Structure formats: structure tokens, C-alpha cells
Amino acid sequence: MKRATAVRSSVLWMSAVGLLGACGGPPEQTPAPTEGDTVTTATQSLVSAPPTPFGTWMSYLGSLPVGGAVASNTGTSAAYEGFKLTVAAHTQVALEVTHLGTGVGVDTGLFVYGPKDASGSYGSRVLFQDDDSGYGELSKIPLATFDDAGEYLVVVGWSNGLGKQYRLQASCVGGACVPNPTPAPVNAPVTLAQFPIEPSLQALLGTGNAYREDMYSFLDRHDFAWPYSTPATVDAAAAAVLARSEYKGYRSDTAPVTSTYAAFQSRMYGQFQPLHPAILAAYGDSGEGVQVKSYSRQFSTGPNGDNWRTLNVILFPVSRHVIVYEQTAHEI
């Protein structure tokens, strides 16, 4: 979902904005292109994130309601505009600059910051971002999972000020914003979306990987949209992970081990055990019943070339995170 952004100069100001009324219901369906509705995808620059701290140049132009939309105009120069999004804990939304309501040729970027702290700051770290995943060169974040309740800042930027309207939509896709959720169907699948690991966890992982050359570990984060009242199962989460091609070697394990998160710590190599409480602190919710499903494989690449690997699928059923921790060892 993430794309590298090119560094460019931008004129930083905010233009006037018009708010559309809240519009509940399902997300819009992208209309088919009409004659003369040409979409160009090769000539525009990537839209870089706005500089932080935002300072006085950042105007707060109103609220973006979950289940609703806002509209504004790009003006004639590259710029950014910001909207506040207020959510309950564990709300999951899709954010999109929609084809419907946006002028032809507009090139956007989307960036999410927060939550707002007691000093009024949204911080400098981009929680979610996208450049061209929507229609043409418009932006779309199909899944943004907000662990903490609060006010977040959604920023729309554009590289080509064409003096045209754009429309930003926020749709509920799971979690706390779903009204009257129903129980999950039997065997409901888990669909994973990958996101970067927290920097603090990457630092701990790097320290462990530098400890000795014959043991190495990997850590990945995935979220899944979940609109149901009953939690996903660790079996469904593991099936979604094993469906990824990079983990196909573990599919032959016919006796995977399912455990609590507490019991999982003893199976981690000693130099990586500081990750155990850190993962829980970063992604867990108080009282959440975290489960782990572990797969093993062993193979040889020749004399003195034995390899041992374990794949651990960690399900946070309330927070809607799946953390994949793979640890490896080999003979030297």
C-alpha cells in the first residue's frame, strides 16, 4: 500500500472548503469512464507528505464524518488541506478521494496523523498514506485501523493545482463504527493488509538480529477489516498468512501448535524475548485474548547446512491486528 514519495517543492497553504452533508450507507461505486474522460497516470509527480510540525500554515477546515464526505477545490497551485476525523477505539475506515465529485486530471496524496494529544499536536509520524491507489491518480486507503479513540488529522495534498473540485470520503469497514454488528459467518475469512511495524519494535528486532549470525528473525504487521460482533479465529488468521507465497514452505506442517500469548514467550530465542512484551504493548488491548499459532519446518542445504524455522501467527482479535513473527536458525 505504501509508496515511496519524491521530494519536491510545494506551496503550503490551505484553500477554502465546502462541507458536504454526512452520507451514510455503502461506499460509492466507481462509475465507468465516459467519452472524453481521460485519465493520465504517467505524467504527474508523487505527492510528498506535508512538512511537520504543521505550524500556523495548517488550517483545520472542519470534520470528516465516518460514513460521510467533504469537498473542496484544489485552487491553482500545489497545496494541502486538512480535516479532523474523530473515532472510537478500534474503528476501521476506508478513506478515498473519489472519482465521483473529483475533477478529471487531479492528482492527490492522502496522509493520516494522530491522535491529537493534550498539547493540540497530531505528531509528525504518518500513520497511513497513499498516492495513486484510487481511480487514476487519486488516493485511496482501503483500511485504516485506529487502535485509540480520539481526533485524527486527514490531509489531502495535490501536485497539480487545476482549480477543480475534489471529494474525500470516509466509509466504515469494521470495528467500533459498525452499527448493530452481526455474528461472523462460519469460516469467515480474514483478508490481510500489510503495514509497517512500529519503529520501536524494528529497533528491538535489529538488536536481536545482531546478537549472533546463525539466528535471525523477521516481524510483519497485517490488519484485517472485521465488521462482526464475534472475533476472528486464529485458524482463519493463520490460513490467510499461509496463503501468502513467502510462507508456502510451512504448509506441510500437519501439527501446528496453538497457544496463549503468554505461553509463546518460552518458544522465542532468548535474544528476541524483549519483543514479547513490546509487541503486546504496541498492538494489544487490555484484556484481549491474544492467541498464537506456530508452524515449523526443517531442511538441509547440504553438509552442515541444516536450517530450522518457525512461523508464528499472532492474532489480536479485538484490535484486528495479525503479527507474523518468523525465527530462523542454521548451522555454521
DSSP, residue by residue, 213-250 = TTEEEEEEEEE----SSSPPPHHHHHHHHHTSGGGGGG
Q: Are residues 21 and 111 in the same domain?
A: yes
Q: Which residue has the cell 478500534?
A: 90
Q: What is the pLDDT of residues 279-330, one digit of tens each?
A: 999 999 988 999 999 999 999 887 768 999 999 999 999 999 999 999 999 9
pTM over 0.85: no
Q: Decide if 109 is inside a domain.
A: yes
My answer on whether 144 and 226 are in the same domain is no
**Residue 239: per-residue pLDDT:** 98
The residue segments making up the domain with residue 259 are 193-330
168 with 205, same domain?
A: no
Q: Give me the residues of the chain with pLDDT under 50, please.
A: 1-42
Q: What is the pLDDT of residues 103-138, one digit of tens each?
A: 999 999 999 999 999 999 999 999 999 999 999 999
- Under 8 Å CB-to-CB from 28, ≥6 apart: which residues? 98, 99, 100, 169
Q: Is residue 181 part of a domain?
A: no
Q: Are residues 162 and 225 in the same domain?
A: no
Look at residue 11 and tell me if it is in a domain: no
